[in-house]
Structure 1
């Protein structure tokens, strides 16, 4: 695996990565959200290699990543020829969302074109698409001149990687995996996913950095919550990251309510002796009188939702490698801006623990 971040930016290395994709190989590359494990979206064998490498269920769909037009101008870009080969139809709402948020951490779900491989959609009639904003991802996609499926570059159900070192650690021993190093991911959690496949409403399938309020403020498009204003028989597409157990450390992870750390230490039977406790940066030391048998260490997390998200997976990975018996995080505050990290933490809690691998198919 390449280990030097400087040469991975070079034209030669990008060319090698493009050729690897064309030859049916896998390339891990950075996006603004997390690192993706990329394969040619038109190559069945390469797609199957992703599922095998990650240990991902074949029914769990992938997201197609596309390049913005070469002469990118946010005010004039024409997304139609970029997206048209992949989707059955493009609504005015879809174009509004693309013009407002692409490239960026927003994934849109459409009825798929008949040429889209069922292996990447989990056998569904829909396809999820986004254009990542990371410059290295865009350079790779432009030179590849095609769609790349790229789920997070980690073992299925585990904590997503936000650095090239995370990817190398995750897949140590897989010698043919090429890793492009683009530094740490800025957003830190996976993209917001909005379903447009019904044709009559936009529906939030996975929260992320881009919120329904921000979408409405910028475009006037109302994004419904799943289950909101639905008719009997409506079925939503399956999408990445929607399983109950996901993003999970091996160390048991739990959330505590405001002022309830001691209750959390008492409540959870997997508590042993060494507990890492996250506290908001605006709070003083919490104190743990009455639990002399428990050794605790506090670490500070940001009370700003954007900063919290950008460091969430980095923090979980680091703590997971430090040998704690339990990790406690504060419950995120109410509000759309916190929905993305709340979603990730809840799924991570459910899947966490030494037996977390048994949850991965849940």
Structure 2
């Protein structure tokens, strides 16, 4: 926002959002990953409104968003006072991760301070925290001078919103919901979640930042849940945002197909009507319609690099869902940890997709 008038306008809008949060209201806000549905993280009644608006089970923890400290001219920002109201202890590893990746799409799980309401943590003794990189939300958090819980601003289990218009579409009957418009989200899938509340860091949700990135930048090894279970001789994993089998799901049935196997995917659905949207990699040649005369294909090109694919994933699912197809087919993501975040979202989206839960039976 270059001109003075627009910065004044945004200052007024942010002030209004701050007032709304302070009075226990909800505010939808942009982040680099997806839009969040925000409430004051220390106000149990406001937090309950978030669960009610989303239709989300109250035992699901929320992520607390905090502002990055102002840099001024110090070489390393001091995060300790910022985190002190939220977490019980900050390890060396935690500070390394924070300095390397915050603000950004990395959520860290800590043992919570006793002042953090259990409503925000789904009744668990841990709290998930991140500092989002979006400048509008950083400004909101600075002015608010507190933490904001913010699950994705959509109905529970449905496709996450990556624009202000998506949020309006999801909550059109909530006329008093204030929505801060920060444009389209860059990253496009939810943050990576790392659990630091145990003896070793554990990946609880894959995202743009991978265990390989973390190792390369900080020297910290992040364990996958099954590796940690072997290490610790236990199998229990804490509940985190987006960990249900069915999630991020369109109403249209969604399936993945293996390379070159579109017709196989179709033959699994003999009763599917006739209109099928088939996403193909932008690096592949076209499918052609031979061999399945009753089906009308429409090809949709999707990016073949993981970062661009993630950035457009929810936009693509949302648009296709609103176009009235009978079936959506997406290519299976390639092997490799840079695709793990996308693969995770797609598997959950497939499992939850379709007009009702009866469609899960044939998964």
TM-score normalised by L of structure 2:
0.94
Do the aligned residues in 2 keep the contact of 1:9 with 1:181 (CA within 8 Å)?
Answer: no
Do the aligned residues in 2 keep the contact of 1:301 with 1:308 (CA within 8 Å)?
Answer: yes
Residues 8 and 213 of structure 1, relative CA distance in 2, 3 Å threshold = farther
Separation of aligned partners in 1, 2:136 and 2:81: 22
Aligned residue for 1:99, secondary structure, equals helix
Do the aligned residues in 1 keep the contact of 2:353 with 2:359 (CA within 8 Å)?
Answer: no
Shift of 1:358: 9.6
Separation of aligned partners in 2, 1:356 and 1:118: 30
Aligned to 1:224: 223
Separation of aligned partners in 2, 1:7 and 1:229: 48
Separation of aligned partners in 2, 1:71 and 1:204: 29
Shift of 1:9: 5.8
- 1:162-214 Cα deviation digits (max 9, x unpaired): 0000000110011110000000000000000000001x200000000000000
Q: How does 1:212-361 map to 2 (within 5 A)?
A: 212-230=211-229, 231-233=232-234, 235-268=236-269, 271-355=272-356
- 1:236-270 Cα deviation digits (max 9, x unpaired): 22100000000000000000001100000101356
Do the aligned residues in 2 keep the contact of 1:195 with 1:205 (CA within 8 Å)?
Answer: yes
Q: How does 1:178-189 map to 2 (within 5 A)?
A: 178-189=178-189
Taking only aligned residues, the RMSD between alpha carbons, in angstroms, comes to 1.7
Q: Which runs of 4+ in 1 moved over 6 A?
A: none
Aligned residue for 1:174, secondary structure, equals coil
Q: How does 1:67-106 map to 2 (within 5 A)?
A: 67-71=67-71, 75-106=75-106
Aligned residue for 1:70, secondary structure, equals coil
Q: How many residues align?
A: 353
Q: How does 1:27-42 map to 2 (within 5 A)?
A: 27-42=27-42
Aligned residue for 1:10, secondary structure, equals helix
Shift of 1:287: 2.2
Do the aligned residues in 1 keep the contact of 2:70 with 2:77 (CA within 8 Å)?
Answer: no
